[in-house]
Every structure is written in C-alpha cells, then in structure tokens.
Amino acid sequence: MNNDLINYTLHLADNSLILGQRNSEWCGHGPVLEQDIAITNISLDLIGQARNFYQYAALLRKDGSTEDSLAYLRTEREYKNCLLTEQPNGDWAQTILRQFFFSSYQYLLYQQLQTGEDKQLAAIAEKSLKEATYHLRWSSEWVIRLGDGTEESHDRMLKAADELWRYTGEMFIAADYEKKTGIDIAALKEPWQKRVKEIFNEATLPYPEKIFMQEGGKQGKHTEHLGYILSQLQYMQRAYPGCEW
C-alpha cells in the first residue's frame, strides 16, 4: 500500500511539474505582456503544488530522497505524468486548450482528494484547489474567446483540439497505484465531459469525435517530448551534481 501511495503522490507531483515546466517556456514570449505574466503565474502555482507533493513523497520513501532528487534525478521511465501535460506548447490556442483540458480534470480530482483518507494529500489538495479553480476559470474564458473569436482563432482552436484530444482519455483510466487511493478516477470522466461540452458549446466549437486514445504516461511510457523536457529541466543537476545557488 505504501508503495502505491508513494507512486500516486509522485504521479500527482509529476503532472504539476511537467505542465508547469511547459507553461514556463512562455516566459518572455507571451503574446502580450499581461498574458505572459498570467501563464507564468499559473506555471508557478503548478510548480508550487509539485513541490508539496514531492516533499511528501520524499518523506514517505524514507530513503534520503528530497524534493530535488525526485524532480531532478529520476529518468523518463520513472515519471508518471499524464501524456497531456508533456505535449508541446504549439501556438497560444494549443497551450490554452491543454491547460483547459487539464485544469478541468485537476479541479475535479482535487475536489475528491481533499476529502480523501490521506490527510496530507487532502491538505495539499485543499490548498491547490483554489489555484486550480482559477486556472480553470482563466482557461475556460480563453477557450470561449478564441473559439468564438475570429475565423483564424477558431481554426486554431480546432487544430489544437485535433492535436490534443487523443491524450485526454488516459486521465480517467486508473493506474494500479491509483486503484487503492479511494478515489474513483473513472467517475470524473462524466463531469469532465460535461464541462468540456458546455465550454465548447459556448465557444462554438464542435465536441471532438470518439477516436483512439493514447495512454501509458501514468506507467512511465511517454511520448518523445518528455525526454527533451527532462534534459532541459535536469541539465544543471546532471552536469554539476549537488550544485546549489
């Protein structure tokens, strides 16, 4: 059980860290100053959540791990984040839609988690839920704004949906370590779809059709993108082990 809890905590941490790292790539490149600050703000929220989860996982492991060793010294196969979080930023539409799909999921997940059995995870979820609520609100409004915006922004949202939809199914399929957490992850699918339908409807975007869904991220089988993210994220610790500043 303890092993499951460790893996589950790492899975939660990895989701936040990888999406946070992805969003941080916008820093200094946002379409306008205000949105540059907004997306990096979200990035910092996510990395903050990841830290809390990593600290807890390190405590549970009792093997001298730290939040840093868990983030900087695990390999690609040891990372348990959902495939969606590691997908490239693409254009602003793709970044927005990735955030919307994931925040809708995280919002529902944290709601469940905050009433869960594990007190520490519940506390982190309760604190993080406020952030997820804002991310969901922010990204929902952007989906509507772009979907129901100009012809070009609408087309770009369609393209983004086409690109990302195949990575959304995995979120609701429980990995082995998720099965004993007391949270029925499959049950989040329906409210998630409802939310996406509502927002897509308002954004004048068609709800994506049923297609083959990719999976494997939760088990460490990733798309080719994660390796590149980690090589950038972990470069300093790999090149100069134990370096601090």
Partner 1 sequence: MNIQIRKLYYGDIPEDKTGGAIVSKDTKSDWPLWEVFIRSKQGLDHKHVGSLHAADAQMAIENARDVYTRRMEGVSIWVVESKHITASNPEEAGELYEPAVDKIYRHPTFYDLPDEVNHM
* Contact residues for partner 1, defined by CB under 8 A: 32-35, 37-38, 41, 138, 141, 145
Q: How far is residue 139's CA from residue 158's CA, in Å, rounded to a whole number? A: 16
Distance in Å, CB of 39 to partner 1, minimum:
9
Buried b (16+ CB within 10 A) or exposed e, 189-220: beebeebbeebbeebebeeeeeeeebbebbeb
SS3 202: helix
Please spell the DSSP secondary structure of 111-123, one letter per residue. Answer: HHHTTSS-HHHHH
Distance in Å, CB of 133 to partner 1, minimum:
13
Distance in Å, CB of 38 to partner 1, minimum:
5
Amino acid at 192: W
Q: Which is nearer to partner 1, 35 or 120 (CB)?
A: 35
Q: Which is nearer to partner 1, 39 or 113 (CB)?
A: 39
Q: Which is nearer to partner 1, 82 or 93 (CB)?
A: 93
Strands (E) located in the chain: none
Q: Which is nearer to partner 1, 33 or 239 (CB)?
A: 33
Distance in Å, CB of 9 to partner 1, minimum:
28
- Cα 136 to chain center, whole Å? 12
